[in-house]
Amino acid sequence: MRRFTLTFALLFLLFGGRVEAAALPADFVYLSDVAPSIVLDIRYARTDNFVGRPIDGYVRPTAVTTLATAEALKKVQADLQRFGLGLKVFDAYRPQKAVDHFVRWAKDERDVRMQSKYYPRVAKRDLFREEYIAAQSGHSRGSTVDVTLVYREAGGFSIELDMGSSFDFFDPRSWPDYPDLTGWQRANRMLLQTVMEKHGFKPYPKEWWHFTLNHEPHPETY
């Protein structure tokens, strides 16, 4: 048993945790295979999210996208790296079972343990009406991503730029054009939006981190 455990641990290290990675459709890829320098912080695979537990379907903290999306993000990353910056991805392809998990959670109005951090000024019952949660998500088409900007400090640590609100903060403060921000926060949001739009992404008006590839290959498939 000890020898088996050691062997598995070595395989895990060698193959980045994807010893038994699921086969993907022909035009889907693991983002790290196309753009390995992009930082991944897949929140729905952990407890640090608005539900407070790992979300159904997120069996590994990895990012899957359509090939076209990954190639566009690679170009974004190349532009940013010239200035010592880079992308961090919070979410990419989202299984429908994860969306269904959000829907079940939203209907349980007693579970508000994460409200103070993620939706302090929105009643949980209003998350659908305010369009922060939907029964169908563009993420499930494989060409929508949640991202922010980071810079590298000595030692290789990636530090997020100040965007004026955190990821998945359900509040008007997270709208890209929210006015009551510092100059640096507005500039950081503008930089992110500008470089994403340059490489073919369109923003979402209620989340500064949310972008969808124009001319996505599966516009009607969830």
Q: What is the pLDDT of residue 222?
A: 83
pLDDT at 10 over 90: no
Q: 19-35 pLDDT, tens per residue?
A: 445 689 889 999 999 99
Average pLDDT over residues 38-62: 96
Contact 197, 216 (CB under 8 A): no
Radius of gyration of the chain (CA): 18
Record the tokens describing residue 188, joined without a space.
């950081």
HSE-CB for 28 with a 13 A CA cutoff = 16
Contact 24, 33 (CB under 8 A): no
Q: What is the pLDDT of residue 19?
A: 41
pLDDT at 165 over 70: yes
Instruction: Tell me what the pLDDT averaged over the chain comes to.
Output: 89
What confidence tier does 157 reach under pLDDT thresholds 50, 70, 90?
confident
Share of the chain above pLDDT 90, in %: 77
pTM, 2 dp? 0.88
What confidence tier does 131 reach under pLDDT thresholds 50, 70, 90?
confident
Contact 51, 119 (CB under 8 A): no
Q: Give the separation between CA 112 and CA 116, rounded to whole angstroms.
A: 8
Residues facing residue 199 across a β-bridge:
none
SS3 42: coil
Q: What is the pLDDT of residue 22?
A: 65
Q: 187-202 pLDDT, tens per residue?
A: 999 999 999 999 999 9
Q: 90-125 pLDDT, tens per residue?
A: 999 999 999 999 999 999 999 999 999 999 999 998
User: What are the catalytic residues?
Assistant: 207
Q: What is the pLDDT of residue 154?
A: 66
Q: What is the pLDDT of residue 177?
A: 94
- Structure-model confidence comparison of residues 8 and 221, the more confident one: 221
Domains and CATH numbers, the chain: 24-213 (3.30.1380.10)
pLDDT at 1 over 60: no
Q: What is the pLDDT of residue 21?
A: 56
Average pLDDT over residues 133-162: 90
Q: What is the pLDDT of residue 153?
A: 78
